[in-house]
Structure 1
Amino acid sequence: MPFAPFVGVNHHDQSNLLGCRLISHENTETFMWLFEAWLSCMSDSPPLGIITDQDKAMQKAIENFFPTTRHRWCLWHIMKKVPEKLGAFKECEGIISSLLSAVYDSLGSTAFEKAWHDMITEYDLWDNDWLNGLYDERYHWVPCYLKDYFWARMLTTQRSESMNAFFDGFVNSKKNLKHFVKQYENALRRKAELEWQAS
């Protein structure tokens, strides 16, 4: 069963488990159920910001249950796809260089828009569906559109993935639910010890 952690950052810049659930499916209905449970546990206070991968089912659930939450996509997951999506182009190196420059060097939206337009025009990428989709969703992933929000230095889902790795030291898919609950308690105790040691 997929493990869905809600991870934040504490005052020691450590990953902090805010809550989690085991979920049966990764579809919109399941995520809506998950977020409804989260809101119930948090006295109906949605998170100010949330970072996820580009999962469309999760995005729909976030829009429904956290309409005031700023939703950011993991920049690492997007950039990891660049060679695969653009590698077939003859001018691949130039396109990737222009894309990286537009994303990382643009300090404001005007600079990004110009750099993006120049890249699309220079390499005649107007019909590239992947790039068009990214551009349409630029407010979710391009750093210059997200800089006015507090992200606790988080740009990626790395903290969530590191939390999964932390739990891997305590549980695995071969164990039953009873074992998971016991080991989950041990994992939480260890996280509390690590935070106390950082004090």
Structure 2
Amino acid sequence: MENGSNSAENPLLNESEKVEEPKRAYKTQVCGNDGELRYFGIECSRSGKRIKKSEVNPLKPSLSTKIGCKARVRATLQKDGRFMLTTVNLDHNHDLIPTDSRHFAMNKKILTPMKRRLEINDQVGIGVSRNYHSMVVEAGGYESLTFDERDARNYIDRARKLRLGEGDSDALQKYFLRMHSQNSSFYYMIDVDTDFRIRNLFWADAMSRAAYKEFGDVVSFDTTYLTNKYDMPFALFVGVNHHGQSILLGCGQLSSEDIDIFVWLFKSWLNCMSDHHPKAIITDQCKAMQNAIEIVFPNTRHRWCLWHIMKKIPEKLKGYSQYESMKMDLQNAVYDTFTKDEFEMK
């Protein structure tokens, strides 16, 4: 990376130097028409000045963190594909509190020995709060730990979801191997964590793979059917055949519902189906699913499930005096129209 100012005095370009004082910052970026990042800037959250409003009561002044701080870094993409730093100002006009850096997400980390201890104590029935506070005492205070109680609780929640009962992992793998030996078209994928514990699963039998070749234009994906005793979401890929019947196109067992796991599941399913993308996919209004679909199925039309949309009618409209008639009109427009123009008119 090149520097438009004095690179010799710029600590950002010297990896041996570390800025000890944390700086809470705002980030801005600009992309071109091709989606490529062209410009980015990072500035202190206390930059700018408070905008005074005439209607503000002078007897009740509002507090503001905006004090015109000039600390910022800006960079622009050059023709050679590298970013040039056009602005580098590391001087703040206010005091900084280095000990607060442990609250920033970028500095939060649970080290492996701490993870082991959290899990072991959880398995013997020690609560998260008691578990965490014992670590605080040993470390010599909250500021000596790189995570807080909420981080510990979130980690235990994830660890519980990954933890299978004794013998379950072996039984599961033996089942998959037996099914594959009976029919080589049986497909399965097992995702494990760094300790080789099963985290996510995907499988599809020969009938599902054959059905997708014939009825794979539109696929419905849902994780709301049920959860098992391990509190792991059960995900289904479902299609519709020429008789209007639902057909199973693959199954997944997930440790959680975040973007990375959905990406793994979608890629596993796509690989199983010979990399043949569906023309459309229907899901509920889950942001993580939406982001994963944009990554794995960029050319597939993504639509929200009609049932999930319609079930919100009471929530959104029940407070109106003409709720019943409005509900009937909406249902009529949705279920009793067959063309786009007719739907738009109603």
TM-score relative to the length of structure 2: 0.30
Bigger fraction of residues in strand: 2
Q: 1 or 2 for the larger relative contact order (CA 8 Å, sep ≥6)?
A: 1
- Higher alpha-carbon Rg: 2
TM-score relative to the length of structure 1: 0.49
